[in-house]
């Protein structure tokens, strides 16, 4: 599946396909897939009394006595200040009791109530989805004239802005090279050093 792409046809019939997310090319990956389970819980709750005086759209919440399946939480604002996504991360070392395990609706609601911290505030859980925390990278970013960047070639634990920084570095690294090639200012082999992960300094350091 391709979610974001740009195709450019040049006068000499060269075609470049730029892929940001999820293209099945069979690229070899290294690293640690499926490190842990994460849960996205969509919540409607009016928290304006608690956040308007300290505005922020992302909050880290740590509660040591919380259930191990939702031990650490990133709470992100979707719509001020009534729609939220609560991203629940498991306690290090904890594993689901069996494949396919998920908390019950009552467990989700109890966790949300504890996170809000005020039993008088009504809320509604409107959706739940699960995903896996990964720490993986592609061993090459290019297959012929298909050039990949972003989540298509590296997936990170969601902390410290690693995803944003490496994606920006991918785009910067590729943009100036491809610009010269498309203008005919330099031969197309300039993009070949985009092929290896070692040519991406930010990704090479942080992955």
Q: What CATH number has the domain bearing residue 192?
A: 3.50.50.60
- Are 154 and 166 in contact by the 8 Å Cβ rule? The answer is yes
Which element (helix H / strand E) includes 111? Answer: helix 105-116
Average pLDDT, the chain: 82
- Confidence band of 168 (pLDDT split at 50, 70, 90): confident
Domain carrying residue 198: 5-28+139-206
Q: Is the pLDDT of residue 104 over 50?
A: yes
**42 and 114 share a domain?**
yes
Q: Out of 119, 134, 149, pick the residue that ends a domain.
A: 134
CA distance 3 to 146: 14
- Across residues 163-186, what is the average pLDDT? 80
Q: Is the pLDDT of residue 199 over 90?
A: no
- Across residues 38-62, what is the average pLDDT? 91
Residue with tokens 């991203």: 87
The token pair at 161 is 């802005």
**67 and 103 share a domain?**
yes
- Confidence band of 127 (pLDDT split at 50, 70, 90): very high
pLDDT at residue 188, rounded to an integer: 63
The token pair at 75 is 């709470």
Calculated CA dihedral for residues 47, 52, 53, 59, nearest 10 degrees = 70
List strands edge to edge, sheet with 146-148.
5-9, 15-19, 146-148, 142-143
**76 and 145 share a domain?**
no
**89 and 23 share a domain?**
no
**44 and 11 share a domain?**
no
- Confidence band of 48 (pLDDT split at 50, 70, 90): very high
| Full-model pTM | 0.76
Q: Out of 134, 149, 175, pick the residue that ends a domain.
A: 134
pLDDT in tens, 85-94: 999 999 999 9
**122 and 162 share a domain?**
no
């Amino acid at each position: 599946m391709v979610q974001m792409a740009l195709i450019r046809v040049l006068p000499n019939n060269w075609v470049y396909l730029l892929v940001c997310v999820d293209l099945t090319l069979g690229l070899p990956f290294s690293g640690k897939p499926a490190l842990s389970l994460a849960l996205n819980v969509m919540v409607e709750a009016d928290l304006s009394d608690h956040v308007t005086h300290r505005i922020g759209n992302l909050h880290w919440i740590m509660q040591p006595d919380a259930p191990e399946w939702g031990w650490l939480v990133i709470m992100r604002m979707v719509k001020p200040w009534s729609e939220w996504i609560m991203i629940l991360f498991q306690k290090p070392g904890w594993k689901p009791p069996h494949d396919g395990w998920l908390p019950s609706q009552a467990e989700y609601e109890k966790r949300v109530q504890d996170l809000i911290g005020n039993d008088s505030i009504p809320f509604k859980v409107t959706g739940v989805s699960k995903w896996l925390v990964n720490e993986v990278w592609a061993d090459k970013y290019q297959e012929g004239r298909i050039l990949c960047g972003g989540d298509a070639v590296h997936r990170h634990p969601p902390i410290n802005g690693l995803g944003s920084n490496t994606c920006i570095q991918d785009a910067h690294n590729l943009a100036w090279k491809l610009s010269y090639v498309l203008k005919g200012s330099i031969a197309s082999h300039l993009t070949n050093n985009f092929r290896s992960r070692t040519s991406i300094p930010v990704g090479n350091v942080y992955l």
